[in-house]
Amino acid sequence: MPYASAAGKAILAAMDEAVVRQVCADTGLRPRTAHTITDIGTLLDNLAAVRRRGFAVDDEEDAEGVICVGAAFFGHDGGCGGAVSVTGIKGDLPAWRVEELGQAVRRCADRVSESLGGSRYAEISM
């Protein structure tokens, strides 16, 4: 479900709020774990943070004990073409490491964007 995965949230963050609301109305915001965002307002706040950071985090939202970090990439037309993400066991992963992973994933997504003739994230106005 896009609202419970890093790649999904990275893609949702590239969409207009009305489209995000429609996607969530179509899919519902059913909990997958105790950490899943199930409120549209909270999700929209989370997506605003994704836009500021340039990457999304799924912190045990889709599966207990699993963390994912994802970033959207963009095609030659400026539209979101998808997302790249990394997944791992959360364990005692510190916040600074999540930030480090997020920046690395962001750089990879920017390389994908460039290979598609798109712009790097910093050059996209969302």
Residue-wise pLDDT for 54-106, tens only, equals: 999 999 999 999 999 999 999 999 999 999 999 999 988 899 999 999 999 99
pTM of the model: 0.93
Question: How many percent of the chain have pLDDT more than 90?
Answer: 90
The amino acid present at 27, given as its one-letter code, is: T
Burial 30-67 (b: 16+ CB within 10 A, else e): eebeeebbeeeeebbebbeebeebbbbbbbbbbbeeeb
Nearest-5° Cα angle at 90, 37 to 113: 70
Where does the chain show beta strands of DSSP type E? 56-59, 66-74, 80-89
CA atoms within 13 A on the CB side of 90: 14
Identity of the amino acid at 79: G
